Each structure stands twice: as C-alpha cells, then as structure tokens.
Amino acid sequence: MAYTTDLAKIDTLIAANPNWSGITSEAVARMRLQNRFKTGLDIARYTADIMRRDMAAYDADPANYTQSLGCWHGFIGQQKMISIKKHFGSTKGRYLYLSGWMVAALRSEFGPLPDQSMHEKTSVPALIEELYTFLRQADARELGMLFRDIDAARAAGDIAREKQLQQSVENYQTHVVPIIADIDAGFGNAEATYLLAKKMIEAGACALQIENQVSDEKQCGHQDGKVTVPHEDFIAKIRACRYAFLELGVDNGIIVARTDSLGAGLTKQIAFSKEPGDIGDLYNSFLDCEEVVDASSINGDVIINRDGKLMRPKRLPSNLYQFREGTGADRCVLDCITSLNNGADLLWIETEKPHIEQIAGMVDRVREVIPNAKLVYNNSPSFNWTLNFRQQVFDAWVKEGKDVSAYDRAKLMSVDYDATELGAEADERIRTFQRDAAKRAGIFHHLITLPTYHTAALSTDNLAKEYFGDAGMLGYVKGVQRKEIREGIACVKHQNMAGSDLGDDHKEYFAGEAALKAGGAHNTMNQFAA
C-alpha cells in the first residue's frame, strides 16, 4: 500500500487548489487507505485473482487447500476475519461462504423459509454487499488504530517506533477475502440467472456456486425430493454466469458447478437428443423405463428409443420422471465432466455423508478425463459427524478383524463412548478430515455451510440459561464479558467496533480543534483499556 507515495501526490493536488483550506494530505492519504476498494467490482477482481492463485497452489500441492465458514450477517463475517487475523496473522487461504440456506432461513423478508429458492433474489446480492461493507469497516478500524499509534509515537519523538508503524501500514493485509456466493439454481431461466449473477458480481462476488436442480422445484441438498435438469439447461446457466463476469470485466471470475445427482432421483424433463451417445442421450439413459410391448397400452405417454426398443420412462403422478436406482454416482461423474468441459472452474458434489473414499471414488473417475478437477466440499452440519465417523471406525475395525464387542453400532452416539479408543480414533479422523480429503479426494475448498446459524443459537441458549437463572448478571459477566476481556475479543470495546473512534478521527479532520469527540475521559470504553 503505497502510503508515502500517495502522500506526495496528494500534496501536489492540494497545492493546486489553495482554496481547500484545512485539507491535509495525511488525512486524505489515510482515508484513501481505509477505503482501498471503491466498488464491488474492485473487490471481485481483487478476490478472483486470490482464488486463482490459491487454485494453482493447490494443483502444485494439495496441502494448500482453502477453507471458509458460512456467514449470514456482515457482522458475523467481519468478526470471523478479525478472529482469523488475530489468531493466525494472515487471511491466506481463508474465505467467506454465502449460504443460500441461511439467506432463506435468516434474511428473507417473508421470515424463516426452507431452502427452496423462495426468498427474494435481491437478498443474496444485498448480503454480499453487506459482508464487504463490514469487512471494509474492519480495515478502516484497524488502520485507524495504527494511525493513532503513529501520531502517539510522533508526539513522543519516537522515530524508530513511527517508522515501524509506517511499515505496518505499507504492508497491511486487508480483511477483504473471496466470497463463494450461492446463486442456488439460478432463480429461473438462463436470463434470470444472468441478471442475478450481474448483481452478485457488482456487489463483490468473485465466485458463484450454481446447482443443477430445477429452479421451481429446488430443495435443500440434504433433503429428499430433488429434481435435476438436463445438462444443456445447466450449461446455458453456466454460460450466463460467465457472460456476466466477462461483461463486468471480471475475467478471472470463478464458477462452481454443483451436482445434486447423488441424492436426486427425479427429473422434470426428457433431454433433447440429436444422435445416440450425445449428452441428451446419456442423460436419458439413466431413466427408469419399461419396455412397451403393446402399443395399445400407451395413453398419453412419452416413449423413447433405447437400443432399438420402445421404452416408457416411469412417470410419477407429480409428472416427474424417475431415474434408475443406484445411478447417482454415475450421473454425478457425468455432471462433473460435462460442467468442467463447458466453462465451470470448480465442482461441488453434494453427498449424504462425509466419507472420503465415497467422494474420491467419483473424483478419481472425473480426473481420468480432467486431471486437475477440483472440488468445493460442504462439511455440512446436516451430517451427524460424531455418529458417521464412529460408524466408519467401527466398520473398519470389523473388516480388520478387531474385537468390537464392547460397542453397539446402533448406539455409537452415546456419551458412554466419548472416552473410548473408538471415540478417540473417530475424533482424530474428524480432525484431519479436511487435510486428508484435500489430499485423497481433490477437495480444494472446504466450507461449512451454516455453522454460524448453530453458533448463534448455542451461544444465545448458554446466555439465556445463565442470565435468567440463578447466575443472574454473573451469567453474562462470567460467560461473556470476562471471556471477551481475557481472550482479547475486539468487540468488548463495542463502541470502537461500531466505528466511534473512526468517527472521532473524521470529526478532527473536518473540524480540527472544534471537533466534539466521543472518546474522552468520560467514555466508559476506557474501562477496558487494561
């Protein structure tokens, strides 16, 4: 961040405008640094470059996988990135995820909704903009504190300290990181997808995740009743997203193509096919059909030709067609290859459980065709991680011939198994899941879709239980405030976090000594200085 270089340019600008009384170059330079990103498109271009570099680093070494957490509010995303910078010193490899599920459940004007694309389209780009507003404010706050430290060092005549702080400003790492944003199934046809994609990119999204479900039948990825679309329909939406990126000059934009085929047993359409073996024919080949032996039995049915035989696809009373049982993995592989061959950059395979070999089995097949295929994977709260991994360990031990008589597979969730060898091994597998899956199953990006939905509920429950119980005010003090102070949580100074000190700085720029500032001796925030 060329702070000193910018100062010289601003000096020249102010000198050319002598009527700009009271305007100082240092104040302008500071405000510019605190607002590095002027538009959402600036953010999208900057973060797309980050993702592309991270993808290349992963291709070189799968240990370079990336991570994110789903955040349903700007403040939550802000606090997450502040925490990451505090604990790890860098935001490298850490993103944000914008979950359509949480938008539906928490951000819809209709109130809480299931993840069925029933929320307003505008709520998604609005949340992207909100997240980046809070991340930019985190930059402004942290830089503001550095500037105050510079002023203090200067006033004390500590030149070495001042230079050190100036260097920190020059090398400042922003809280602004990539957001992978869920565009669901596009909220309509390809044109609707394109229009929404533009809004999301203009808000700052560098990566759009789109799924191959029917828009008006869309279901949460971990619920039943999912309905997929033929590949040509999905390809049109991938193209729509790419056109949106290119129109807006975000040439490096990333498209994440999600397939729900593993759990989706239904389709709304028979795919159009020009010739045997084309993509439409391959899609139709998975349909559950019965041979027509008597033409008189046809009553308004759709009939297809399969290997020279007339076949009737099974159609449900809902007018949906059914795929053959057990074809999910094959359809996922076809979906993935087709998406990557038609403009997608990353894949997302929605699974019903966190099982590395299940994921790897499909990825291996995709990589036979496209060697650098990479996944974004949902480390979903919809999985019972404890139970799944204890069952995986149990089954592995049985296969190895190990004695499992001390364990009841049907009751492995029990607290009685927490301190056992099986429980410990399962926990270790959970701990290393992301690293192991990145290496074995091609997972470039690990995310948890809706963790902050659960953490908000849990922390609120803990506080309510104590505060409204016998602990009273101690429930808040001991359970929240004392921990904030001792663990260095920035929000303990909530006025500072909300921008009070930033406002004081601006007041001083605007009014000089006449500024009425909030941060005086009587500000109770001073109680948290120790």
Dihedral (CA of 362, 364, 365, 370) sign: positive
Which tokens in the block code for residue 227?
């309905």
**Strands of 321-322's sheet in order across:** 227-228, 266-267, 321-322
Q: Which amino acid is at 114?
A: P
| 509/300 Cα distance (integer angstroms) | 77
Find the helix or strand (DSSP H, E) in which 339 lies.
Answer: helix 328-340
Dihedral (CA of 70, 72, 77, 79) sign: negative
Smallest Cα–Cα separation from 68: which of 355, 403, 348? 348
Q: Are 439 and 62 in contact (CB under 8 A)?
A: yes
Smallest Cα–Cα separation from 421: which of 409, 408, 406? 406
Q: Which amino acid is at 446?
A: H
Find the helix or strand (DSSP H, E) in which 317 lies.
Answer: none
Angle at 312 between CA 352 and CA 276, to 5 degrees: 80
φ, ψ (nearest 5 deg) of residue 257: -95, 115
- In sequence order, what are the residues at sequence separation of 6 or more whose Cβ sits closer than 8 angstroms to the Cβ of residue 37? 43, 46, 132, 136, 176
Which tokens in the block code for residue 232?
């040509």
| 310/324 Cα distance (integer angstroms) | 17
According to DSSP, residue 171 is labeled T
The residues annotated with a catalytic role in the active site are 220
Q: What are the C-alpha distances in Å from 238 to residues 96, 208, 329, 407, 447? A: 22, 10, 22, 48, 22
Smallest Cα–Cα separation from 342: which of 242, 260, 442, 252? 242
